[in-house]
Structure 1
Amino acid sequence: MAGFRDRGTSTEGHRAIPHPSVTVVVEFGAGPLIVDDPTGRQRRGSLVAGLGFGAVRVRGEHFAAVQVRLSPVLVPAVLGVSPADLDGAVAPLDDLWGPPLARLREQLAAASTWAERFALTDAVLARCSRGGTSVDPEVTWAWRRILASHGRVRVDSLAAAVGWSRRRLWSRFHAQIGLPPKRAATLVRFDHAAHRLAAGVPTARVAADSGYADQSHLHRDVLAFTGVTPATVAREPWLAVDDVAWPGHAARHRPPGRGIRH
C-alpha cells in the first residue's frame, strides 16, 4: 500500500511499471487522476489494473491517491472478479465497488494523515472481502513458488509438484491468475530485475543474477514490459516507494511495506 500526492508541480506524469499484482488505486484529491493506457485510452479517477498491465502513464494536477497491490489469489474474494476478467487492462474501480468507493473517497479526503488513510482502506478491503476463494490450492502453491523463485522455475516442475499435467496447470492457472504460468514467471522475473536496477545494481549483474541469458535478453524483456531501456527503468520514480527497491527508505514515517510518494 502506498500514498501518492501531486502538488501541481508537473503535468507530464510518471510511467507506472508493470507489477506482479492487481493494482487498485483510490483517488480522492482535488484534481482528477488521469491514466493513459498502452491502447491510447484515457481513464480518470479510481481504477483497477489487471496483472501485468502494460506500461501506462499516470498524471494529473493536485490529485491524491492510495494505491493497493493485491495478490491475484485474493482478487476474487476482495474485488468479486477473477484476475482473468481484468485481462491486464485498466478499468474503473466504480464498476466493482460502487457506493462503498464513494464513501471511502470522502473518508480519505477528510483524513489528516496517511496512516489514517491506510487504516480506512484496510477496513474497506476487509468489508468487501467475500470470504473463501475460487483459486485452486494447487494454483495458489504454483503462484507462490513462482514468487519465491523470482520467476526462475520451470512450468514442468510446477506441474509435477502438484501432480497435474502441464496442460491442466496451464489452463487452471491462466483462468484463475490471469496469465499463463510461463508468462507469470516472466513478469515476476522482470519485476525482480527492475527493483535490482532501481537499487543501483549494474545491468550485467542484474542479468546474471536474475536468470537472463545475457544483457540483451534482459534488455528485450524490460523493453517489452515498459517500452524503455533498463537504464531508464532504473531511474523511474514510481519504484522509489517500494521497500524492495529501497529497503528502510523513510521507515520512520510509515509501517513496513507502505510508502508515501510526493
Structure 2
Amino acid sequence: MQADATAAWEIARPPRVPALPGADMAGFRVPGGSPVELRTIPHPAVTVAVEFGDRPLEVRGLRSGSVAVGLGFSPFEVRAEGVECLQIRLSPLLARPVLGLPLTELSGSVLALDDLWGSAAPRLREQLHHARSWPERFALIEAELRTRLGEGRAVDPEVSSVWHGIVASQGRARVGELAAEVGWSRQRTWSRFGAQIGLTPKRAAMLVRFDHAVHRLAYGHPPARVAADGGYADQSHLHHEIRTFSGSTPATAANEPWLAADARAWPARERLG
C-alpha cells in the first residue's frame, strides 16, 4: 500500500447514528501548507459537500467547493489545502426529495450547491463556520435535511423496495426477481426506477457491487477472492468493472487516497438504505 496522503486530516463523525434514515455525515479539516490532489471514486450514494472554511475545495469547473454529486459519476480531481467541509452521503431514496430535483438531472454530474439551494447554501455555510463544534455542525445539517425532506416528493415504495434489494444483495440480486417481488413488470421497473433513482437497476447493481469490491481491494484482499465473493464471472470481469467506474486498474484503485480517507470517515462501511 502507498502512503496515505490524507493521514494528517482531521476526520470527525457524528456522536450518534443520524436520526434521519438514509443520511450519514463526516466532517473534514485539511491542514494548510501541503495541498492534496485527490481523484474521487464513485459510490452508491448521492454526495453533498458543504465547505465552510476560509479556503474552499477546488473542484474543477465549479466556482464553489460546495457541491452535489450524483450517482455513478466519473472520477474527477479535487484539490484540498486548508479546507474545512462537511460531507453528507444520501441514499437516492432520500436525495430526491432533499435536493428537490429528479436524480436523472444529477446522474453522473457535479453541480454547485448554490445552484440547487440558492441563498440557503451560503446561509448554511455561514452557520457551519460559526458553529463551535462538530456535533453542532452535524445537528445543523440534520435540521436542514429534515426541513427539505418535508418539502420534497418521495420515491415510489416499489422503487424503494427494489433499491433495498440491490443494496442488501451487494448488487448481486436479479432485477427481474426484484420486480416480481413488488408486482411490477420488468419494463415498468426499469422505467420508474431509472426516472426516480437516476440509474437503471442494472447500472445501480453494478455500482453497488463495485463499491464493495473496490473497498475490499483497498483493505488488501486479493483480486481473485474479491471477484469470486463479489459475484463476478472471473477476475477479468472484476478488472473491467473497476476500470469502468474508477478509470484505473484494481491495483491503482486500491491505493487511491480517496478510499483511505473514506475508510476512516465511514469505518464500518455502512450501506445507505
TM-score by length of 1: 0.87
Alpha-carbon separation, structure 1, partners of 2:158 and 2:67: 30
Which residue is equivalent to 1:125?
A: 145
TM-score by length of 2: 0.83
Q: Which of 203, 206, 213 is the aligned partner of 2:226? A: 206
Which residue is equivalent to 2:212?
A: 192
| Unpaired runs of at least 5, structure 1 | 250-255, 258-262
- Distance verdict in 2 for CA 1:183–1:248, change over 3 Å: closer
Which residue is equivalent to 2:35?
A: 11
SS at match of 2:233: coil
Alpha-carbon separation, structure 1, partners of 2:153 and 2:176: 25
Which residue is equivalent to 2:194?
A: 174
| Unpaired runs of at least 5, structure 2 | 1-24
Computed over aligned residues only, the root mean square deviation of the Cα atoms, in angstroms, reads 2.2
- Distance verdict in 2 for CA 1:196–1:65, change over 3 Å: same
Alpha-carbon separation, structure 1, partners of 2:124 and 2:177: 43
Alpha-carbon separation, structure 2, partners of 1:66 and 1:184: 25
SS at match of 1:53: coil
SS at match of 1:13: strand
Per-residue deviation, residues 163-194 of structure 1 (Å, max 9, x unmatched): 11111111000000000000000000000111
Does 1:108 find its partner at 2:108? no
Identity value in percent: 59
Which residue is equivalent to 1:94?
A: 114
Which residue is equivalent to 1:252?
A: none
CA contact (8 A) 1:25 1:47 kept: yes
CA contact (8 A) 1:239 1:245 kept: no
Alignment length (residue pairs): 247
Q: CA deviation at 1:241?
A: 4.2
Alpha-carbon separation, structure 1, partners of 2:188 and 2:202: 13
Which residue is equivalent to 1:45?
A: 65
Q: Which of 117, 134, 146 is the aligned partner of 2:154? A: 134
Per-residue deviation, residues 91-111 of structure 1 (Å, max 9, x unmatched): 011122122221211121122
